[in-house]
Amino acid sequence: MKNNIFEDIGGFETIDRLVQAFYQRIEEHPELRQIFPEDLSESARKHKKFLTQFLGGPPLYNEEFGHPMLRARHLRFPIDAKLRDAWLESMKDAIVDASIQEPWATIILQHLTMTAHHMQNIYDDKGR
């Protein structure tokens, strides 16, 4: 084990593989694709910076964009439980495609699951 998740999983190279795999899934997912811009390149670039920082690497996202304020930045998108779960499933598959090993795959998914639940902003009558 090294100093943090970012280093333990292989740093920038692994983050790049993860983001590429994730955005390939976004491109192919009819519901998720609708909330992303036509050109995914800027979203992918920002996501790489965010994940680098989120997983303990250099604070690239903060340096360029300031505090992530994820919920505030995503409030304009209608995110219900179905969309949240589709995003998580796509990320889970991307983690596998990026060859992120255990225990890091589970730990990353756990952190992203908490984040995804925080991002949800539309709830059904049962609070889901």
Tens digit of pLDDT for each residue in 31-87? Answer: 999 999 999 999 999 999 999 999 999 999 999 999 999 888 888 889 999 999 999
What spatial distance separates the first Cα and last Cα of the chain, rounded to whole Å?
37
pLDDT of residue 125: 76
pLDDT at 1 over 90: no
HSE on the CB side for 36, CA within 13 Å?
Answer: 23
Rounded to two decimals, what is the model's pTM? 0.91
pLDDT of residue 127: 66
Average of pLDDT values for 102-122? 95
CATH number of 5-119: 1.10.490.10
